[in-house]
Amino acid sequence: MKLEKSGNIISAVEDKNRILHAFIVTSLFIMVLWFVRVFEFVTGAQLFYFGIFPGKITGLIGIITSPVIHASFSHLISNSGGLFFSMLTTIYLYRQSAYKTISIIWVLSGIIIWIFGREAYHIGASGVVYGLMSFLFFSGIFRRDKRSIALSLVVIFLYGSMIWGLFPVDVTISNEAHIAGAIIGLACAFGFRKLDPPGKYEWEPTEEVDESDPDEYEMHGETKMMKLNSYAGAQRF
C-alpha cells in the first residue's frame, strides 16, 4: 500500500483565489492613494498638514494618515509600482503574516519618524514600500526555503537600487521613512519567520511512502525514515 506524505496541498482553485484576493486588496489600496491625490489636486486642499511632523503632538495624526498623502503625481507614481509589487506579493505568499506585517510597518515606522525625523512634514507611502521590500528580502534569509530565497533574488534584481534611498541624497526626500520602514520590515521578517510555511501545489509531484517497508514509519503526522538497526542500537540516557 502506498501513502502520500501529509502536507499543505494547494489546489489550483485555491491558488487562483489567493492571487485574486491579493490583487483586489492591493489595487483598492492604491486606488485610495490616487483618489486622495486627485481630490487634493481638484479642490486645492493642503493635505500635507496630515503628514507626520516630528516632535509635535499635532503631527501624531500623520502616523495613520501620512502614507496615503503624496506631494505630487510624480511622487505617487514613483511609489505605486513598488507598492503594487511588494504588497501583492506579501499578501499572496505570506497570508498569515501579511496584514500583521503591513500594520506594524505602517504604525511603527511612523512612530520612529515622529521621534527621530527632521522638522518637516513627512508624507508618502515610501516607508511602507521600503518596509515590505525589506520584509520580502529578509524573509528569504531567515526562512531559507526555495520560494522565499527566489523572491529575495527577485527583489534584489528589480529593486536593488532602492538602497540609495536610505541615504540623505536629497533634502526633499524623507530617507528617515525609508530607514524606519526597512528596519521594521527586517524585524517582521525575523519575527514571523515561522508563519506561512511553503505549501505544495497539486501539480507538483508528491513523495510516497511504502507502508509495507519496515524501515519506514509514521510519527506525529510526518513521515520519518529510520533504519531498524540504527533504532535498535539507540540508548536512552
Domains, the chain: 9-200 (1.20.1540.10)
HEC per residue, 187-221:
HHHHHCCCCCCCCEECCCCCCEEECCCCCEEEECC
Radius of gyration of the chain from its Cα atoms, rounded to whole angstroms: 23
Virtual CA dihedral for 175, 178, 182, 188, nearest 10 degrees? 140
Q: pLDDT confidence of 178, banded at 50, 70, 90? A: very high
Q: How many CB atoms lie within 10 A of CB 107?
A: 13
pLDDT of 217 strictly over 50: no
Q: State yes or no: pLDDT of 23 exceeds 60.
A: yes
pLDDT digits (tens, 9 = 90+) for 156-176: 888 888 888 898 888 888 999
* 4-13, 99-108, 186-195, 211-220: segment of lowest average pLDDT: 211-220
Interatomic CA distance for residues 117 and 52, integer angstroms = 9
Length of the chain equals 237
pLDDT at 15 over 70: yes
In the predicted structure, residue 83 carries a pLDDT above the cut 70: yes
**How far is the first Cα of the chain from the last one, in angstroms, to the nearest whole number?**
36
Whether pTM > 0.75 for this model: the answer is yes
User: Is the pLDDT score of 93 beyond 50?
Assistant: yes
Give the helix ranges, DSSP H, for the chain: 12-43, 62-65, 73-93, 95-116, 126-143, 146-159, 175-191, 228-232
pLDDT above 70 for 202 = no
Higher pLDDT: 189 or 201? It is 189
| pLDDT surpassing 60 at residue 216 | no
Q: Is the pLDDT of residue 234 over 50?
A: no
Q: Would you state the pLDDT for residue 109?
A: 96
Q: Are 71 and 151 contacting, i.e. CB atoms less than 8 angstroms apart? A: no
At 8 the pLDDT is 65
Q: Mean pLDDT over all residues of the chain?
A: 83
Tens digits of per-residue pLDDT, 111-137?
999 999 999 999 999 999 999 999 999
